[in-house]
Amino acid sequence: MDEAAKPENVRAALTALSRLLNGKPAAENTANRKRMVLSNAFRYAVEERALLTRHPFLSVD
């Protein structure tokens, strides 16, 4: 989890979520939905499992 929470990896994940598998931009609604799922997973890691001390989205612009 620590590796996934590094800012450069979070940025890469957010970029990947905004693209389709063929590299084209995803629809805004699709990208937002995927971003929410990732955010919920990080929130679960912080609040419920105590695997992280802070939500990684807070360290990324």
pLDDT tens digits, 1-55: 889 999 999 999 999 999 999 999 999 999 999 999 999 999 999 999 999 999 9
What pLDDT, on the 0 to 100 scale, is given for residue 61? 82
pTM: 0.89
Sequence-separated (6 or more) residues with CB below 8 Å from residue 12: none
Residues 49, 34, 56: CA angle, nearest 5 degrees:
45
What pLDDT, on the 0 to 100 scale, is given for residue 2? 87
3-state secondary structure of 12: helix
Question: Sign of the CA dihedral 16, 18, 20, 22?
Answer: negative
Sequence-separated (6 or more) residues with CB below 8 Å from residue 7: 56, 59, 60
